[in-house]
Amino acid sequence: MPQTQKISTPAMQEKICCLAGLLHEKKAADIYALDVTVYCSSFEGLILATAQNERHARSLADHLLALAHERNWDFLGMEGYQHSGWILLDFNDILVHIFQEEHRSFYNLEGFWSSGISVALNLPESEHA
């Protein structure tokens, strides 16, 4: 497991924590963020999250897009929205992957990006009813 630390810049740390916080608030599971600046020049951060089902995945994507619009962040595109086993959102400097459980374990992006530095998200504990 990669070492956890703050991402390279305060602005990027804030953006990643804001996106991850919204995912957490909207009940995404297993939220994980990485700083990949050490070996990737295309983008700086990566967020992975798991949705409960297709409707939940689309809802998470919609909420992230609304947040990006509200904050005036760059948004370059989205893939997988119609078949939402895996939705990819490209915020230029951060990529967000929203998976359903079976797709997340199959593609194992945590393993692929294992050289990245895990970002400390400090998300509140989930409440279990």
CA distances from 107 to 102, 104, 110, 113 (A): 9, 5, 9, 11
pTM exceeds cut of 0.85: no
Q: Which domains does the chain carry? A: 4-119 (3.30.460.10)
**Exposed/middle/buried for 120, CB within 10 Å: 0-12, 13-18, 19+?**
middle
What residues does 78 pair with on adjacent strands?
89
Each of the 129 residues of the chain gets a pLDDT tens digit; together they read 444 554 567 888 889 999 999 999 999 999 998 887 767 667 778 899 999 999 999 999 999 999 999 999 999 999 999 886 899 999 988 899 999 888 887 866 676 666 667 777 877 775 443
